[in-house]
Structure 1
Amino acid sequence: MGNEQTWLDRFQQQSSQREGDHRTPFQRDKARILHSAAFRRLQAKTQVLGVGMSDFYRTRLTHSLEASQIGQGIAAQLRSKFPQLTSDLGLNDTLIEALCLSHDIGHPPFGHGGEVALHYKMRHHGGFEGNGQTFRIVTKLEPYTADAGMNLSRRTLLGLVKYPNYIDALENQSLLDKNSNLTHRQIQAGKWHPPKGLYLCDSPLFDWVTEPLSIADKTLFMSFNTAAKHHSKTSYKSFDCSIMELADDIAYGIHDLEDAIVMGIVSQSEFLHEVAEPISKIGKIWLSTNMLAIADKLFSHQHHERKDAIGALVNSFITGIEILDVEPAFNEDLLKYNAVFPEQYHQALSLFKKYVFNRVILKPDIQLLEYKGQQIVMELFEAFSSDPLRLLPDNTRQRYIKACEQNNGQRVIADYISGMTDGFASRLYSNLFLPASQTGIDKSVI
């Protein structure tokens, strides 16, 4: 695994020593994430269903907590199945917990509606993407240090990089018209979903994270697949990142489905036809044999039966996960090995995710909320970019002035708006554009 100490290094050397602090580097990383403003704001950001529609279902915060719990379950399972390999790879529960807790902190208000809005407004300035923003928050924006963000250990940062290349390199220019003069209300979300990657302006920190890798490993790590009708997509991720991503997928496919069932958004007949019956035909896995019985419990009026079914589904997917050598050409073991689903489990979870996407996220009521959020974010961006020195808060204004020296001022406006919660963005919109509205300034968003 190369020099283990190198992966524990931090970009900025620690100047403060605290008496009696015996925590590991990953325990420190988790604490910095957990106590950050960016993490707290997840409590008021949309997961799938709009914040405020009900107190029951998930926000980005509760989703991240559940992903963290699932991630720890995956780690325990892998340690039991592959004791020597997990030991050699230095699998660490606290690290996995930290990655799962922080994986969504870069997502803007109003879910994908906010992401589409910011990517469109940043189309001439490097784009916007939630995972790239997560990397930017932890390495630069969160004020744990003056200019190194949370100053997390190198291995934690490597684990947070789900897509190790830059938006500029991954963008398929044929899919969009960068000179579009459409009004905000005419922007079609499907045409402005961003490539998943990092911002070119953050390349110095990504270069530092990948410094221990050989040139060949870094080149392979950053490789991507191209397609005529899609943006390019990176091919590889680190071992720790693969666990976090599986935990995220399980939480999204199973727990978000629970919300939709309780809220009456989906029907049992649709679920049986589109998920349960196809899974029962996959064969060779426990889930296939038991899926129809689980479906009955999922839609039961007895709440404890639904919870039992959710637990059984999550456990089935966790226990199916294995570690594979995904690319023998890597020299670095943290890149060579990934946690993966066997094909049957991958097929099964894909059916859950597709169902949530088609029957919940694409539902007109949900899309109306996304569209509304998309308009709010675009209007806010338009306002602040029209006269930044007049309208931005003091701290953000100073960062804007400094960023303009590198011709990167618009990135600071995107940072400011993406850090807002759904409620704060709505109140600010009202304050700016509705004459009868008057609210105080919330100085927690910088």
Structure 2
Amino acid sequence: MTAFDAQRRIGEPAKDSGYGRTPYQRDRARVLHSAGFRRLAAKTQVHTAGSDDFLRTRLTHSLEVAQISREMGERLGCDPDVVDVAGLAHDLGHPPFGHNGEAALHMVAEPCGGFEGNAQTLRVLTRLEAKVPGAGLNLTRASLDASCKYPWARQPGRRKFGVYADDLPVFEWIREGGHGERRCLEAQVMDWADDVAYSVHDVEDGVHGGYLSLRPLMEDADERAALCADVAEVYSDEPVGELADVLDQLLTDPVVTEVAGYDGSYRAQVGLKRMTSVLTGRFVASAVGATQGRFGTDPVRRYAADLIVPRTVRNQCALLKGMALRYVMRTRAAEQWYERQRVILVELVEALTRTPEALDPVFAPLFQAAESDAEALRTVIDQVASLTDTAAVSWHGTLVAARA
């Protein structure tokens, strides 16, 4: 890593703490100790946070992504702390109620440029967290770049983006060097670790929670075809026939068939955990092996290589994501509580816009200093996005329901 990679946007005096830590170890500590990271413990991953002691929250998911990122990055030669930071930080911008909340905030934030969890993460890291005035956590350029999963602004026809218009100056500083929309290797490692973690772990949570049973897929060809059609529409560019072949391979894997009769017993939980471990290891090892096969085994980092994920492995991951979508997310989305979540966030934004004195002491001055309605709305969105699931319900009860 170079001095350029280790630069912080706002210079800081040298620290003699006696630890001899690298800049990237300091970055990792800053994310771990941030308020936004702590709040992830009470934010929804797929299932509502706190609804079951077994199920994952945004915090446990982020820890898992960081662990996978670190191991995969180390094997490729990336700085382990940089990929660790990216994994820990990648979901800091996600609002209450997971992707359901993200969709609600995107709708109500349209007048100020929409809402996207990844763009919000950049905003949290570089602006909203209280560490260095005007720079958020003031992380190094390398760590911030590694956290940029979608290094482009909002564009027509592209659902995902990584920066709001008013955050472009810091984004351009991070991306200095003329790389266009290409992601650094560390960001690619984090992105694949995220895919691996939430595909495998969401299926694990779905099976344990009783939302997903693998047996119907194994026994019903029509159901397998429907799943492949879903995956081709949402997660993959592969033809349905190719996905069907990969699904057949996946469903006949012994570690998967072992889970077909899951009943929650100790033995069944051991089998479920074995499936999770084997699939995670397979997905990681395949990407490391393919990347080293293309770029060699010497250490690589930043823009010296791209992560190569074999086609079959990528398809297996997409099929697992499709299982979580079809049998867990859509089932949950049909529940009355999911609609209620969206209403809570929309009404909360509307109420805070009318009564900005209710904003907390961090955001109230920013609202008052806003020079446009769009800037004021963005401040309210920042406030609501920062809340945990429980806090959003509580604020709504105080500001909306109690006054109805």
Question: Under a length normalisation based on structure 2, what TM-score does the superposition of the two structures give?
Answer: 0.85
Work out whether residues 280 and 292 of structure 1, in 8 Å CA contact, stay in contact via their aligned partners in 2.
no
User: Aligned partners of 2:251, 2:392: CA distance in 1, in Å?
Assistant: 45
Work out whether residues 27 and 94 of structure 1, in 8 Å CA contact, stay in contact via their aligned partners in 2.
yes
The CA deviation string for residues 202-248 of structure 1, in whole angstroms up to 9 with x for no partner, is 0110111122x13xx33xx2xxxxxxxxxxxxxx3221000001110
1:209 aligns with 2:155: no
Secondary structure of 2:183's match?
coil
- CA distance change for structure 1 residues 120 and 290 in 2, over 3 Å: closer, same or farther? closer
Deviation of 1:404 (Å): 2.7
Aligned residue type for 1:424 = A
Structure 1, 270-279 or 398-407: larger mean CA deviation: 270-279
1:104 aligns with 2:65: no
Structure 1, 244-253 or 268-277: larger mean CA deviation: 268-277
Residue matched to 2:367? 400
Work out whether residues 351 and 400 of structure 2, in 8 Å CA contact, stay in contact via their aligned partners in 1.
no
- CA distance change for structure 1 residues 289 and 64 in 2, over 3 Å: closer, same or farther? closer
User: Aligned partners of 1:435, 1:137: CA distance in 2, in Å?
Assistant: 31
- CA distance change for structure 1 residues 259 and 266 in 2, over 3 Å: closer, same or farther? same
Aligned 1:43-54 pairs, distance under 5 A: 43-54=41-52
Secondary structure of 1:339's match?
coil
266, 274, 277: which is aligned to 2:212?
266
Aligned residue type for 1:22 = G
Deviation of 1:280 (Å): 9.1
- CA distance change for structure 1 residues 113 and 365 in 2, over 3 Å: closer, same or farther? closer
Secondary structure of 2:306's match?
strand
Which stretches of structure 1, 4 residues or longer, exceed 6 Å deviation after superposition? 275-280, 324-327
Residue matched to 1:171? 156
User: Aligned partners of 2:150, 2:388: CA distance in 1, in Å?
Assistant: 25
1:419 aligns with 2:375: no
Residue matched to 2:192? 246
- CA distance change for structure 1 residues 195 and 339 in 2, over 3 Å: closer, same or farther? closer
User: Aligned partners of 2:189, 2:372: CA distance in 1, in Å?
Assistant: 40
Structure 1, 58-67 or 267-276: larger mean CA deviation: 267-276
Work out whether residues 112 and 370 of structure 1, in 8 Å CA contact, stay in contact via their aligned partners in 2.
no
User: Aligned partners of 1:387, 1:364: CA distance in 2, in Å?
Assistant: 33
- CA distance change for structure 1 residues 367 and 250 in 2, over 3 Å: closer, same or farther? farther
User: Aligned partners of 1:137, 1:160: CA distance in 2, in Å?
Assistant: 12
Residue matched to 1:31? 29
Aligned residue type for 1:358 = R
71, 84, 105: which is aligned to 1:73?
71
Aligned residue type for 1:310 = T
User: Aligned partners of 1:337, 1:96: CA distance in 2, in Å?
Assistant: 15
User: Aligned partners of 1:14, 1:406: CA distance in 2, in Å?
Assistant: 34
Deviation of 1:386 (Å): 1.5
Deviation of 1:324 (Å): 7.7
357, 365, 370: which is aligned to 2:338?
370
User: Aligned partners of 2:371, 2:10: CA distance in 1, in Å?
Assistant: 24
Instruction: Percent identity, please.
Output: 30
Work out whether residues 32 and 88 of structure 2, in 8 Å CA contact, stay in contact via their aligned partners in 1.
yes
Work out whether residues 73 and 186 of structure 2, in 8 Å CA contact, stay in contact via their aligned partners in 1.
no
Structure 1 segments unaligned to the other structure (5+ residues): 80-85, 173-192, 222-235, 438-446
Residue matched to 1:294? 255
Question: Under a length normalisation based on structure 1, what TM-score does the superposition of the two structures give?
Answer: 0.77
User: Aligned partners of 1:364, 1:259: CA distance in 2, in Å?
Assistant: 13
Residue matched to 1:334? 302
Aligned 1:218-229 pairs, distance under 5 A: 218=180, 221=181
Structure 1, 138-147 or 357-366: larger mean CA deviation: 357-366
Residue matched to 1:347? 315
Structure 2 segments unaligned to the other structure (5+ residues): 229-240
Deviation of 1:432 (Å): 1.9
Deviation of 1:333 (Å): 7.3
Aligned-pair RMSD on alpha carbons?
2.9
User: Aligned partners of 1:304, 1:371: CA distance in 2, in Å?
Assistant: 35
131, 139, 158: which is aligned to 1:144?
131
Deviation of 1:371 (Å): 2.1
Aligned residue type for 1:199 = Y
- CA distance change for structure 1 residues 165 and 325 in 2, over 3 Å: closer, same or farther? farther
The CA deviation string for residues 66-106 of structure 1, in whole angstroms up to 9 with x for no partner, is 11121123224x43xxxxxx3xxxx1111111111110010
